[in-house]
Amino acid sequence: MRLLAIDTSTEACSAALLLGEESRLRFEMTERSHAELILPMIDALLTEAGLALGDLDGLAFGRGPGAFTGLRIAAGVTQGLALGSGLPVVGISSLAAVAEQVPAGAGEQILVCNDARMKEIYWGLYRRSDHGIDCLGEERVSAPAALDFDPAKVRHVAGNAIDRYDGLRPRLEAASLRIHDRFYPRADAVARLARLEFRAGRGGGPADALPVYVRDSVARPPSSRVTEM
């Protein structure tokens, strides 16, 4: 399976090509240049692989939660590419894309904590399974102090929020979790999770390339095509 994936949900901007078991990644840290970086990244990957967009089997993007503008960029770019190519689309949780990178054993639970700004974190619980990464319950946004998990069940924690809030790392260390800090959503992880979705027949059309906002006070999921860039 040949997939193109992107993620612009955090300050990490990335694009990846998944070609069978091989993945090729472009990754750059940026605060505000996602819109300028993502299309050249895509072009470079396709040129390097000697492929056109129509040679691929599908498109994937990090749907959120994450930065409002970044999510709109990823959804808008994906919709545009899907409209032009006719390729099916899958949206992948940006928190699950962090969990996918954690070297957890089968059955082990992973807590992901990403910075949501405004003194809050996006967080969710996941489990490594034979089918990839399973989400355990809803993905949430809250103050770090409201983070709720069972230290007897969770083995790993990852995400870019761990060192950004006073008291969070000490609490995680006190729970004896294995800490994987400075992990960001990454397009190659998005691609690996998307491959499972495509194989299960869950690819959609351009109109399905929508961002998912967890923080309702900032924005709600749109009911139609995203056109802002």
Question: Which amino acid is present at 218?
Answer: V
Domains assigned to the chain = 2-94+185-208 (3.30.420.40), 95-181 (3.30.420.40)
**At residue 132, what are phi and psi to the nearest 5 degrees?**
115, -120
| N- to C-terminal Cα separation, the chain | 29
Q: How many residues does the chain have?
A: 229
Question: Token match 């998990």: residue?
Answer: 149
Rounded Cα distance, 7 and 13, in Å: 6
Per-residue 3-state assignment (H helix, E strand, C coil) for the chain: CEEEEEECCCCEEEEEEEECCEEEEEEEECCCCHHHHHHHHHHHHHHHHCCCHHHCCEEEEEEECCCHHHHHHHHHHHHHHHHHHCCCEEEEEHHHHHHHHCCCCCCCEEEEEEECCCCCEEEEEEEEECCEEEECCCCEEECHHHCCCCCCCEEEEEECCCCCCCCHHHHHHHCCCEEEECCCCCHHHHHHHHHHHHHCCCCECHHHCCCCCCCCCCCCCCCCCCCCC
What is the model's pLDDT at position 216? 66
Q: What is the mean pLDDT of each run of 10 residues along the chain (229 residues)?
A: 98 98 97 96 98 98 97 98 97 98 97 96 96 94 97 97 95 97 95 97 97 68 37
pLDDT of residue 149: 97
pLDDT of residue 131: 82
State residue 181's pLDDT score.
87
- Characterize 160-198 residue by residue with b for buried, 16 or more Cβ atoms within 10 angstroms of its Cβ, and e for exposed: bbbebbeebbeebeeeebebbeebbbbbbbbbbbbbebb
